[in-house]
Amino acid sequence: MKKIYIIAGERSGDLHGSNLAKSLFRQAPSLSIRGFGGEDMQQAGVTVFVHYRQLAFMGFVNLITNLRTIFKYIKLCKKDIAEFKPDAIILIDYGGFNRKIAKYGKQRGIKVLYYIPPKVWAWYQSRAFELKKNVDRLFVILPFEKKFFQDKCQWEVDYVGNPVLDAIKNFIPDPQFKLKNNLAPHQKIIALLPGSRKMELKRIVPLMAEIAQANPHYQFVTATVSNLDSGLYQSLRGVSNVKFIQDDAYNLLTIADAALVTSGTATLETALFKVPQVVLYKTGKLEYKIAKSVVSVKFISLVNLIAGKEVVKELIQEKASFLFVNEELHKLVDDTPYANQMKKEYQAIYQTLDIGSASENTARLMLNYLDKKK
C-alpha cells in the first residue's frame, strides 16, 4: 500500500487538495493519505494532522510577525513525515512553508510532487531554480507557467488544466437562489467579492460600501466567508441596498450583472462565469512598496495574466478609489459593447484552460510517475 503525505496551508488549497485526493483514491483505492489540510480534505478521506487555520498567515508583515509559529509547524510537519514514512509528499501552493518541506523531502529521499506551485513567475524568479533542485515533478495549472519554467531553468513541467474550471463545470446552480435570498427579479445585481483575507477586507469593504450607497438603483450582494469575523463586513451592513450570502459565491455569480472583485482566484472564477468585472486591490504602504520592488509581472489578476493583455480593468492602491471604481462599474453595466467584448475575451480564456479535469490529470500523472520510479 502506497502512502502519501499531502500539505495544503490555505482554504483554497484544502479545496484543491480534496479534489486531488478523490481522484487519487478513485485511481488507487488502497492509498493511505495523511497531512495538513481542512474539512474538505478530511471528507475526501485524508487523515488531517494539522488544520490549515493554524497556518493561514497572509501578507509580508503578518508572516514576519508569525515566523515563530510557522517554524514550529514546519518542525512538527517534518517529525510527522518521518514517522509516517510516505512514498511521496504532495505539496499544494503555500510556497514559504512547502518549499522548506520540499527540501526536507528531497534530503530524505522521498519523492516530492508539487501541485499548484508558488507564483515564482511573479516575484523572486530565482526560486524557480530552488524548486527544480528540490522537486521531482511539478504540476502547473496556468498555461504560461509551463513556458516560464522551460525558458527560465530548462525544466519540463506538466500543465494539467485548471481546478477552478473543474469546480465551475461541476457546479449545479440553485434555480431558487434569487427567491431564497429575497433578490428583486428585475433589478441589476452587482456581486461584491471582497476576498477571504482579513487585511484585504479591512481596506476594500469600506470602498464597496461607498459605491453601494452611491448606487441605490443597483442591488449589491456581498459574498462572505464563514471563517472570517462577520465584523469585517460591518460598513456594508448599514447600507439598505446590500444583501449578504455566505460561502455561496458561485450561485451569486450565476445571476450577477457585474462584479467588484478583490484580486485573487475570484477574478478567474468571475471570468469563467462570464460576469463583467473590475479588479480592486489595496494594501498597506509598506507591503505595497515591498511588493512593487519584487513583482515581475505586468498584471495582478489571473484573467489578464492568462490572456496576456488587459481584459479587465485593475484598480490598484490610489486608483482603488470611489471615483475610478464607480466610473468603471457604470461602464460594466451600461456600456453593452464594452461588457460584450470582455465576455468574448473570457470565452477565449475558458478554451485555453479547458484540457480536461486538472485533478484527474494530476492524479494519473502522479501515480504513473510513482509506479515508474518504483
Quote the pLDDT of residue 223.
96
Buried/exposed 299-325: b ≥16 CB within 10 Å, e otherwise: bbbbbbbbbeeebbbbbbeeebeeeeb
Q: Facing residues of 34 across strands?
A: 5, 47
Q: From residue 345, give the alpha-carbon distance in Å to each of 121, 287, 310.
A: 23, 32, 10
CB 260 within 8 Å of CB 192: yes
Buried/exposed 228-243: b ≥16 CB within 10 Å, e otherwise: beeebbebbeebebbb
Percent of the chain with pLDDT strictly greater than 90: 75
SS3 call for 95:
helix
Q: Facing residues of 315 across strands?
A: 280
Does the pLDDT at position 63 exceed 70?
no
Res. 296 pLDDT band, cuts 50 70 90: low
Quote the pLDDT of residue 59.
47
Does the pLDDT at position 88 exceed 80?
yes
- Average pLDDT of 302-321? 94
Quote the pLDDT of residue 374.
46
Res. 259 pLDDT band, cuts 50 70 90: very high
Q: How far is residue 112's CA from residue 313's CA, in Å, rounded to a whole number?
A: 38
Give how far the C-alpha of residue 286 lies from the chain's centroid of Cα atoms, to the nearest Å. 24
User: For the chain, what is the mean pLDDT?
Assistant: 91
- Average pLDDT of 27-37? 97
pTM for the full predicted model: 0.84
Q: Facing residues of 93 across strands?
A: none
Locate 341 and state its grid cell: 467584448
SS3 call for 222:
strand
Q: Which domains does the chain have, with CATH numbers?
A: 3-161+356-373 (3.40.50.2000), 170-353 (3.40.50.2000)
- Of the candidates 101, 23, 88, the one whose C-alpha atom is nearest the C-alpha of residue 55 is 101
